Structure 1
Amino acid sequence: MNQQPSGTVYYDGQCPLCNKEITQLKTKTCSLQFIDAHTHTELPKPRHLLLQQLHVITRTGQTLIGLDANIYMWRNSGAARLAAFFSLPVIYPIATRIYTRWAKYRYQKLYGKMNDYQ
């Protein structure tokens, strides 16, 4: 019986940290589909936007970006404790700011200014 994915994860396959996490998640039992934004031509958003932060499109069509995408991905891949921790009201706003800054730094380091890579 084939199960429909609970969501599609769009990630940066040229980011070593991103690749490491996605590779680990692929070895777990999860119902997510993983798509490297560099290797696919049919993408739901411009490639440079998908590379700036992790994106998940849920089965219902909701788009989650950044930490929200990570939390969804963790919940659907057996890392519920990690998802629960980062969802805590005290942790979530701080973690969101840190993730956003890290994602911007990572993107600029790999590709230059935020809109240079198309």
Structure 2
Amino acid sequence: MEPERATSTVYYDGSCPLCRAEIGYYSRTDQDGALCFVDVSAAGAAPPEGLTQREAMARFHVRAGDGRLLSGAEAFVEVWRRLPRWRWAARLASLPGVLAVLELGYRLFLPVRPFISRGVARLQQRAAGSERG
């Protein structure tokens, strides 16, 4: 499968340490420049058309290269499809029923995301403190 030429735009909550870490990984992995990243928490950032900033920050969204706005598990699958090392996961997600299970997992994760993010922030603070000391 040959990758699309148009980039996909990833909209993420940059105020979330967990999200920043994940997007950092994706951006380092995106050697082909297939993804464009927009921190929708930043002042003046434009959320995807049809969504408020709050809605854009509440779920993961991707504008696919073909113009479709995807969210949740579908958005992650689009990112994986665009990254060579993750295409296996996108192929797995195309199997019958897998996307529904991924979406269910994502919906179960959303309420605990703030707690995990706080834990990630504390770990990052400790790591930064040990680097200084």
TM-score range, shorter chain: 0.7 to 0.9
Matched residue, 1:20: 21
SS of alignment partner, residue 36 of structure 2: strand
Residues 28-84 of structure 1: CA distance to partner in whole angstroms, max 9, x if unpaired? Answer: 214110111111432222011111111011232210000000000111122101222
2:89 aligns with one of 64, 67, 82:
82
1:95 aligns with one of 86, 91, 102:
102
Q: TM-score, normalised by structure 2?
A: 0.69
RMSD of aligned residue pairs (Cα, Å):
2.2
Q: Which structure dedicates a bigger proportion of its chain to helix? A: 2
Instruction: From the CA coordinates, give the structure whose radius of gyration is larger.
Output: 2
Gapped regions of structure 2 (runs ≥ 5): 118-133
Displacement after TM superposition at 1:25 (Å): 1.2
1:43 aligns with one of 47, 53, 68:
47
Q: TM-score, normalised by structure 1?
A: 0.77
With 25-34 and 62-71 compared, the bigger mean Cα shift is at 25-34
Matched residue, 2:113: 106
Identity of aligned residues (%): 28
Matched residue, 1:34: 37
Displacement after TM superposition at 1:5 (Å): 4.5
One-letter code aligned to 1:12: D
CA contact (8 A) 1:51 1:107 kept: no
Matched residue, 1:73: 79
Runs of 4+ in 1 over 6 A off after TM superposition: none
One-letter code aligned to 2:11: Y
Give the number of aligned pairs. 107
One-letter code aligned to 2:88: R
With 35-44 and 99-108 compared, the bigger mean Cα shift is at 99-108
